[in-house]
Amino acid sequence: MAESYEDAAARELEEELGVRARPRFVFKFLCAGAISPYWLGLHEVVITGSVRPDPSEIAWHDWLTESELVDLVRDQAFVPDAREAFERYRALS
């Protein structure tokens, strides 16, 4: 059986940030992808405790305000699909 988007998001959250939580599905969309198109599911979760980033998975982390995050996504190198997901997420509000 294939892993659901929600299960994959929860697994990645724990593997990469050391956080056990149940992410909430927000939407999915078809990304162009560098090699071929694929579906990307976007989830959100509220984290009230500390995070323990895995240095083999996470190069940098910090808590940012929304405006700081907007500036970071605009000014720094991001995977194009992540930038597109962020812009789609912002368009929801």
**Which structural domain, as residue segments, surrounds residue 34?**
5-91
CATH number at residue 14: 3.90.79.10
pTM of the model: 0.81
- pLDDT of the residue at 25: 95
User: Residue 39: what residue type?
Assistant: W
How far apart are alpha carbons 9 and 13 in whole angstroms? 6
Tens-digit pLDDT profile for residues 18-70: 999 999 999 999 998 888 999 999 999 999 889 999 999 998 999 999 999 99
- pLDDT of the residue at 12: 95
Q: Tell me which H or E stretch contains 27.
A: strand 24-31
Token pair belonging to 39:
């579906």
Task: Count the domains in the chain.
Answer: 1
Does residue 71 surpass a pLDDT of 90? yes
Instruction: Name the band, by pLDDT with cuts 50, 70 and 90, for residue 88.
Output: very high
How far apart are alpha carbons 16 and 32 in whole angstroms? 25
